[in-house]
Structures are given as C-alpha cells and as structure tokens.
Amino acid sequence: MALEKLTLDQVRHVAKLSRLTLSVAQLAHLAPQLESILQYVAKISEVDVAGVEPMAHALPLKNVFREDVVEPSLPVEKVLMNAPETDGRFFKVPKIIGGAEESAE
C-alpha cells in the first residue's frame, strides 16, 4: 500500500500537536522518518487478525491484590523534608497550566 508523501505542512501540524517548534530544515529531515513510520503501520494493518482475541500483553498476566489496610501515614514534616520548595505544609511546584505558550506557535 503506497502512501502519499507527507507535506511539510502536515509534519508541522504533527509537530504543533506535539508542542514542538521545529525549523524548516528539521521538518524536512523528519518528514521521511515520519513517512517510514506510517508505512510500517500501514503494513502491520494488512495482517489478518480475524479470530485473534484482543490482548493487553503478549504474556498472560494477573494482578496480585492485597487487602486495603489503613496504616499510619508519614508525618508531614518527614514528607516535606526532601522537597526542593515548600509553602507551609504543601509542596511548591512550578505552574505549568496557563503559562507562557512559547512552544507550538
């Protein structure tokens, strides 16, 4: 199954969805690689899977459950001991949602 060649606009769109800002040279370099991946996926999709039961793993796995027993928690001071930054009794983390939209422009 021959796929159409990807345009730089299509590769740019995929990069934007991935929140990557790429130069035209990078887009041109990555386009054939992305085409190769899509060709491989198309080749795999040609396999006849009629009668094959869907599975999540190649090997049979089973979950090992334990009783949900309430145990004492760590003290807050001990939990926060190795935190790079704290705000009272809380971890202080950088804001990532609603921040500057520098990438994927």
Examine residue 30 and state whether it is found in any structural domain, yes or no. Answer: yes
Examine residue 64 and state whether it is found in any structural domain, yes or no. Answer: no
Domain interval for residue 36 = 8-45
pTM of the shown model: 0.50
What per-residue confidence (pLDDT) applies to 64?
Answer: 82
Examine residue 21 and state whether it is found in any structural domain, yes or no. Answer: yes
How far apart, in whole angstroms, are the C-alpha atoms of residue 90 and residue 103? 29
Span 63-78, pLDDT tens digits: 888 888 999 999 999 9
The count of structural domains within the chain is: 1
Cα dihedral 34, 36, 33, 49, rounded to 10, equals: 60
What per-residue confidence (pLDDT) applies to 81?
Answer: 92
What per-residue confidence (pLDDT) applies to 100?
Answer: 56
The residues of the chain scoring below 70 in pLDDT are: 1-2, 98-105
Domain containing 28 — which CATH number? 1.10.20
